[in-house]
Amino acid sequence: MNDAVHKTSAEVDPASGGRIRQRNAALILSAAEKVFAASGFNGASMAEIAAAAGLPKANLHYYFGTKEALYRAVLTNIIELWLGETHGITPEADPAEALGAYVRAKMRWSRERPDASRVIANELIHGAAFLTPYLEDDLRRLVDEKSAVIEQWIEAGRIAKLDPRHLFFSLWAMTQTYADFDLQIRAVLGGGPLSDAEYEHATEQVVAFVLRGCGLTPRG
C-alpha cells in the first residue's frame, strides 16, 4: 500500500530518483535486456534477471513493479535507437552517400547492440502487442517521410526506380540479420564470433550490394 508511492514514481520516470535508484535501475535494465534477448519474454524469469543483475528478486519488483513493466521499460529504452539514424536521407544529399551511411549505421547497431535488436525481433515475431503503437505511428510516419525523399531521387533520375518502402524492408532485414540470426551466420562461416575484420567485410558486402541494387556505384 504505502509502497505505491515508490512504484508510481518508478513507473512514471524510471530514470528519475536518487543515485542509488538510478544506478540499480540501469543495472536491472541492462541485465533484463540480455536475458529477454536470450530467452524471450515468457522464457525469461525474474529470478534469472535478478541473478544477472546481482540483486535479489524482490528488488526488481521494488523498482519496476511487474515483469511486464520491466519489459516495457527495456523496449522503451531500445525504441529510440531503433528509429534513429535516418537523418542523412534528405533530398539534397547524395543518394549513394546517404544510403551507404544508413546501412553502415544499421550494421554498427547490429554489432554493438545485438541484444537490443533481438528483443525487438522477438517482439515482432510474436504479436508485438506493446510495439504496435510505435509501428503504426512513429515508424510509419518516418518511412512515409523518407520514402518521399527517395521518390524525389527517383524522379530526378538519381537512383533506380523502386518502391522505397520495400527498399527499407530489405535494408532492415539485411542489416539486422547479422544480430538476430548471428548463430546462423557463424555456423555458415564456420566458427566463433566474427572478428572486427570479418564484420567490416560483411558491412562492405552489404553496402556494395545495396548501392548496386539501387543502381548506384560506390564511387561517383
Partner DNA sequence: AAAAAGTTTGACCGAACGGTCAACTTGTTT
Partner DNA sequence: AAACAAGTTGACCGTTCGGTCAAACTTTTT
127 binding a second copy? (CB under 8 A):
yes
CA distance 59 to 64: 9
Region binding a second copy by CB under 8 A among candidate stretches 60-68, 69-77, 103-111, 180-188: 180-188
156 binding a second copy? (CB under 8 A):
no
132 binding a second copy? (CB under 8 A):
yes
166 binding a second copy? (CB under 8 A):
yes
Residue 111 or 118 having the CB closest to DNA: 118
106 binds, among a second copy, DNA, none (CB under 5 to 8 A by kind): none
Residue 10 or 131 having the CB closest to DNA: 10
Residues whose CB falls within 8 Å of the CB of residue 148, separated by 6 or more in sequence, listed in order: none
208 binds, among a second copy, DNA, none (CB under 5 to 8 A by kind): a second copy
163 binding a second copy? (CB under 8 A):
yes
181 binding a second copy? (CB under 8 A):
yes
- Residue 50 CB, shortest distance to a second copy, in Å, is 18
Binding footprint of a second copy on the chain (CB under 8 A):
37-43, 118, 121-122, 124-128, 131-132, 135-136, 139-140, 143, 160, 162-163, 165-170, 172-174, 176-178, 180-181, 183-185, 187-190, 201-202, 205-206, 208-210, 212-215
